[in-house]
Structure 1
Amino acid sequence: MTELGESKPNVIVIGAGIVGLSTALSLQMRGQRTLVIDREGFAAGASRGNAGAFAFSDIIPLASPGVFRHAPAWLMDPGGPLTIPPAYAFKILPWLLRFSRASRPSEMTRGVAAQSALMNHSKKTLLDFLRDAGLGNMLRREGNLQVYESDREFEASLPHWQARENQLIPFRHIEGVDAIAEVQPGLSSRFTRATFSPEWYSVDDPLDYTLNVAEKFQDRGGKFAIAEATSVTADHETASIRCADGRVLVADKVVICAGAWSRPLARSLGDRIPLETERGYNTTLPPDALDLRMQITFGGHGFVVTRLSSGIRVGGAVELGGLDLPANMRRAEILLNKAKDFLPGLRIGDGVQWMGFRPSLPDSLPVIGMARGTNRVIYGFGHGHLGLTQSAGTASLITELALGEPASIDLTPFRADRF
């Protein structure tokens, strides 16, 4: 842990995941003395065990028309893409009602437009961020293969692909088992259709990438401390963070990028933001478990298989279960067994299981912008499955806000008070 010293930082960033660290490094590269604090350490949450993808084509919100038609079947299936533990069902109800409203066609149209703008900005920003940070060698451009078990499942996806085409996102459909095998061998013959997205990038390993961003930040003079923020206040000149151990940290500005733990900090500033957690599960197998050429998405089952430098990662699905319930690692086992069924050559021994919390808002858009009634506190959280994807873009937008510059995109859809 770095000693804080006596000098007041220009900015304190709460949260040492990939969004917080990217923001800290971006601020530092613009001349800001920056301190990062976190309750545990670097990459302690979702940044440690995610799928490692820059999923720039993933502009369709989870809340979309028709999702509730599938929800009963998903909830009845122990291995389905969505589950809600009975102990959490009542508590999640207000979030689900907001999710239902966000699923209306008009709301989805607005959500796709906002998500597309943020994705385009994040993609444009990422390459400059990697170059300036000296991390370009960690980027992979292998693409993503979305696979379908029937013509019916494929045809149901076409409106979403049309929405992507409207946003000039490149892709190509593939028909037939043999044609799919030319792109990615080893898939079960049950998958007769697929779609390849070439601009779906990835990193060698999300943990290594996040730790490298942290190292660059510290090498350039950035400071880090273990501290659990419990509340934030602001006046006309400064912002202050009260910590669980009694410390009070003061800076010109504070940025809240605490992921799933951001909601109580926002509430201390008067913003009641319906942030929930999608608990994601995965298993990381040895690197030789499968000859994998690109990330594969099994959309009908809600999980992906990814090749990382640390191994083959099988994970995904959504469990709306909050922060406190015990992990149900049976979810990881079910996904792994499905992957074995879908990829018969996959060797599933010697895997390491993991569960993490994805910070999720009902409309699938993050909160990026100023806190209520002050320009001293800036929010950047709630990215759901897309924290890594949108990390560089969010960092650049927060940096613009912190420096009083016009934002590169319209931030109205991402305002904290939209709820």
Structure 2
Amino acid sequence: MVHSIVIGAGMVGLATAWHLQERGVEVTVLDRTGVAAGSSWGNAGWLTPGKAIPLADPSLWTYGPKALIDPDAALHVPFRVDATLWTFLAQFAAHGTHRAWDRTMAALTPIDKIALACFDELTDGGVDSWTREGPFVIGFPEEAHAKGFLREIAGVERHGQSVPLERLENPQELAPQLSPAVKAAYRLDGQRFLEPWPFMKALGEAVVARGATLRTGADVIDVTGGAEPSVTLSSGERIAADSVVIATGAWMPKLARRFGVRTRVQAGRGYSFTVETTDPAEHPVYLPAQRIACTPYEGRFRIAGTMEFRGPDEVLQPRRIQAIINQSRTLLQGVDLDNRQDEWVGSRPVTPDGLPLVGATRADGVYVAGGHGMWGIVLGPATGKLLAEQIVTGRTDPAIAPFNPLR
């Protein structure tokens, strides 16, 4: 039987493993920590293809400089001598133009369109978890603050997606967590959400139940391509296969760079925590001006935010948690921000051009899947499906052609 090794047990890695199994491939999944140990665990769980858009846009040129001196800003860059980081930021900022935004959005639209159907494939195929329809409630302190968000939605629709959006006169009916300080609100439909850890746990269990070997505590230090692709663990053990998929998120460059994957991958770290609410939270809430996403999660309310450009293994910075609290305190009500649980930081893999890295490398039998930035959860199943097709058949689906990792 054909055998593939998938390095990384996040959404992208496990979805790739699942779809390889669909095509009759024997799979071994290796992860140095465990299922969803990276950015898949504590994210907001939003399945919002209508918001899977380029991270860099023209507003970066006005927002970015202000963010550098505002300790509560959602964007945070530490002041340090780091040539690699500042080179990435320069490349990232260069994509903050209308032309670059449209080019990237055009490339993302085909995979955005199939993203939700690919979740249905997983749950219909035995992944014992759920995805749930919104609506999502979008709130702004002032009507003028909604202009950028509305422009983004219009841009997504211009590229061919349907993103139903309507003005709400009384947003507290859907989201009692919004305070009267929210002066303008909208209802966003056609999107879904999930509870990240329960879903990831179910996906990992389904992959194992279908015959995969899942090894945690397996630290891969080297990958070899060619006639007999293989991986070498820190223990010295070597495992051979017919193909190897590197799906290690923000850590991808450590293993993939030598195979011609030159696009920079920078950890854009997100933070989250959960709180109790006076009224039950039933719908996701988004505060675009503050870049804060909130989701019902196991009877509590998960609050997530921040794009912090640091190393992927650096420790949690409590000041970033406080920034989220400071930004949300006046806009939320009935939310116990002082009694937080599950404080978390996760490293999302961000590329300068806003496009993932998915496909074959220069080494025979070695593939990569990652670089989705904030959209690894929503685009993970579709990525896994299309990459599995490429690995097994050699055909590159047009939806992932723009994500060529050798670009």
Fold in common (TM above 0.5)? yes
Matching residue of 1:49: 42
Contact 2:28-2:213 at 8 Å conserved across structures:
yes
Q: Residues 19 and 66 of structure 1: is their aligned pair in 2 closer, same or farther, counting only changes over 3 Å? A: same
The Cα of 1:268 is off from its aligned counterpart by 2.8
1:148-171 CA-to-partner distances (Å, cap 9, x unmatched) read: 222221223332121122223222
1:291-321 CA-to-partner distances (Å, cap 9, x unmatched) read: 3231111111111111111521111111101
Matching residue of 1:119: 112
Contact 2:41-2:196 at 8 Å conserved across structures:
yes
Matching residue of 2:240: 250
- The code of the aligned residue for 2:298 comes to S
Equivalent position SS for 2:307? strand
- The code of the aligned residue for 2:139 comes to V
1:230-273 CA-to-partner distances (Å, cap 9, x unmatched) read: 221211x3211122221111100011111111111111323223
- The code of the aligned residue for 1:200 comes to Q
1:312-347 CA-to-partner distances (Å, cap 9, x unmatched) read: 111111110112433212211231343332112112
Contact 1:368-1:380 at 8 Å conserved across structures:
yes
Contact 1:171-1:195 at 8 Å conserved across structures:
no
- The code of the aligned residue for 2:349 comes to P
Q: How does 1:388-403 map to 2 (within 5 A)?
A: 388-403=377-392
User: Does 1:321 find its partner at 2:314?
Assistant: no
Q: State which of 196, 204, 209 in structure 2 corresponds to 1:219.
A: 209
The Cα of 1:55 is off from its aligned counterpart by 1.5
The Cα of 1:22 is off from its aligned counterpart by 1.3
User: Does 1:346 find its partner at 2:335?
Assistant: yes
User: Does 1:416 find its partner at 2:405?
Assistant: yes
Equivalent position SS for 2:9? coil
5+ residue gaps, structure 1, are 1-7
TM-score normalised by structure 2 residue count: 0.94
1:35-74 CA-to-partner distances (Å, cap 9, x unmatched) read: 0001111111111111111121113211112312111111
The Cα of 1:414 is off from its aligned counterpart by 0.5
1:5-50 CA-to-partner distances (Å, cap 9, x unmatched) read: xxx8610000011111111111112211000001111111111111
Matching residue of 1:232: 223
- The code of the aligned residue for 1:180 comes to P
Matching residue of 1:183: 174
Q: Residues 409 and 143 of structure 1: is their aligned pair in 2 closer, same or farther, counting only changes over 3 Å? A: farther
Equivalent position SS for 2:36? coil
Contact 2:127-2:202 at 8 Å conserved across structures:
no
Equivalent position SS for 2:271? strand
User: Does 1:381 find its partner at 2:370?
Assistant: yes
Matching residue of 1:160: 152
Give the % identical residues. Answer: 27
TM-score normalised by structure 1 residue count: 0.91
Paired residues in the alignment total 404
Q: State which of 28, 34, 48 in structure 2 corresponds to 1:35.
A: 28
> How far, CA to CA, are the matches of 1:324 and 1:277 in structure 2?
9
> How far, CA to CA, are the matches of 1:269 and 1:231 in structure 2?
11
The Cα of 1:290 is off from its aligned counterpart by 4.4
Contact 2:181-2:330 at 8 Å conserved across structures:
no
Q: Residues 121 and 266 of structure 1: is their aligned pair in 2 closer, same or farther, counting only changes over 3 Å? A: same
Q: Residues 270 and 155 of structure 1: is their aligned pair in 2 closer, same or farther, counting only changes over 3 Å? A: closer
Contact 1:290-1:312 at 8 Å conserved across structures:
no
Contact 1:339-1:346 at 8 Å conserved across structures:
no
Q: State which of 246, 264, 268 in structure 1 corresponds to 2:258.
A: 268
